[in-house]
């Protein structure tokens, strides 16, 4: 039996939602290149595309925006539960619990499950952002801010977080981030969602599995560590010495390298532009400057130490200075990832349920065999 650790190179299913072409450095959603979507599409358009398989017309986009806006508010009991959470609780723990709790406020079917459709996908996508923003305020001893229906998904998040309407630059930067992170093939959290959905668990259960999986450092937890590096370095001139010291200790340069991409992550360039623009408009260009130099020296030094590995910046690298410039703390970065990826997770859950077969792979047993029973007196 051939074992592929981490399922690397194993094709476990088919999808029409997104294509990751790692050798080419390309990512497409439903056939549309990610660079075009980042340049021209809103997050609401991309969510519709992922859920329905096509771009919306004007009436459909307006309807999607209205319907998502109507799903942003949280039940009072859920807000109260966020207030009761210790302020030092890990944010992803809170988001996981909040997402799971959403199902309790939806009337179940007779078998106890919920309908897994576009309406549920909208509810999860809209409400997850509200959960994240509400907890961010609660833990700072501030009252949650009610969502506004007249703002886009991205602008509304920043409004709920800060209590004021964001600048066009800030709203657009977060919108681009949400577009870029919305889906990415059968990554670990998406696969977890599909495994859960394959058991006929409903969308809320499958989405909760995805959120739990995203929490790990090897999947969604890297941007916070990238920002720590940027803050520790402080000055672009110190980047090379920092990277060499890090690698000499056997540590990783977080945000560099990707399981799929053998060239620079196609999502890194649009995010780099957002980080640069936010630094310029906000009067804090140093974070982008450090990140830019850090990427250059990390790629150079890694190429010296690991020739032929072809390690480049991934999407998480420029996520860090982008979100930080928006006033989002590093421990909330993975929560922001969940806000975006919920659109993709729910699309995959619906696709899995449309043509379902229980995901049940084989395993190569490597333990002991043939042991005789030993009574407890003789052990």
Distance CA 161, CA 69 (A): 16
* pLDDT at residue 303 in the model: 85
Note whether residue 180 is domain-resident. Answer: yes
Phi and psi at residue 348, in whole multiples of 5°?
-70, -35
Among 258, 272, 295, 351, the active-site one is 258
Residue among 177, 295, 316 nearest 242 (CA) = 295
Q: Are residues 58 and 185 in the same domain?
A: yes
Are residues 142 and 251 both part of a single domain?
Answer: no
Is 87 known to be catalytic? Answer: no
Instruction: Output phi, psi for 333, to 5 deg.
Output: -60, -45
Which residues make Cβ contacts (< 8 Å) with residue 376, sequence separation at least 6? none
Query: Which pTM value belongs to this model?
Result: 0.94
Distance CA 189, CA 219 (A): 8
State pLDDT tens for residues 38-52: 999 999 999 999 999
Helix H or strand E segment including 169: helix 168-180
Please indicate, yes or no, whether residues 196 and 256 belong to a single structural domain of this protein.
Answer: no
What percentage of the chain carries pLDDT values higher than 70? 100
Same domain, 145 and 263: no
DSSP state of 69: H
The CA distance from 346 to 349, in Å, is 5
The answer to whether residue 359 sits within a structural domain is: no
3-state DSSP assignment of residue 27 = strand
Q: What is the mean pLDDT of the chain?
A: 94
The CATH number of the domain where 280 resides is what?
Answer: 1.10.230.10
| Residue of 153, 316, 348, 351 with catalytic role | 316
**pLDDT for residue 109:** 80
d(CA 255, CA 299): 11
Q: Is there a catalytic annotation at residue 184?
A: no
Find the domain containing 253 and state its range.
Answer: 222-325
- Specify whether the CB–CB gap between 313 and 288 falls below 8 A: no
* Ramachandran angles phi, psi of 21, nearest 5°: -105, 85
């Amino acid at each position: 039996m051939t074992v592929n650790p981490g399922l690397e190179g194993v094709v476990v299913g088919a999808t029409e939602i997104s294509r990751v072409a790692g050798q080419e450095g390309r990512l497409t959603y439903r056939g549309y290149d990610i660079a075009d979507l980042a340049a021209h599409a809103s997050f609401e358009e991309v969510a519709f595309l992922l859920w329905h398989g096509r771009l919306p017309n004007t009436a459909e986009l307006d309807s999607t925006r209205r319907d998502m806006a109507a799903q942003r508010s949280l039940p009072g009991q859920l807000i109260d539960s966020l207030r009761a959470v210790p302020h030092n609780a890990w944010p992803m723990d809170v988001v996981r619990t909040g997402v799971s709790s959403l199902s309790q406020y939806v009337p179940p079917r007779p078998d106890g499950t919920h309908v897994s459709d576009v309406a549920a996908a909208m509810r999860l996508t809209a409400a997850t952002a509200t959960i994240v923003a509400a907890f961010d305020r609660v833990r700072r001893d501030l009252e949650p801010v009610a969502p506004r229906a007249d703002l886009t998904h991205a602008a509304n998040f920043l409004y709920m977080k800060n209590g004021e309407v964001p600048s066009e630059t800030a709203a657009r930067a977060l919108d681009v981030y949400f577009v870029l992170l919305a889906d990415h093939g059968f990554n670990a959290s998406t696969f977890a969602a599909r495994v859960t959905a394959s058991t006929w668990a409903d969308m809320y259960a499958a989405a909760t599995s995805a959120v739990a999986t995203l929490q790990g450092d090897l999947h969604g937890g890297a941007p916070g560590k990238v920002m720590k590096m940027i803050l520790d370095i402080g000055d672009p001139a110190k980047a090379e010495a920092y990277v060499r010291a890090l690698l000499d200790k056997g540590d990783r340069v977080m945000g560099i390298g990707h399981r799929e991409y053998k060239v620079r992550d196609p999502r890194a360039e649009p995010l780099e532009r957002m980080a640069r623009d936010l630094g310029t408009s906000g009067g804090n260009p140093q974070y982008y400057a450090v990140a830019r130099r850090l990427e250059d020296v990390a790629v150079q030094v890694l190429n010296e130490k690991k020739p032929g590995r072809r390690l480049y910046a991934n999407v998480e690298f420029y996520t860090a200075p982008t979100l930080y410039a928006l006033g989002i703390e590093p421990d909330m970065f993975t929560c922001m990832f969940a806000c975006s990826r919920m659109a993709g997770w729910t699309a995959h859950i619906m696709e899995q349920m449309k043509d379902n077969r229980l995901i049940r792979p084989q395993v190569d047993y490597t333990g002991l065999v043939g042991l005789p029973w030993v009574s407890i007196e003789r052990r």
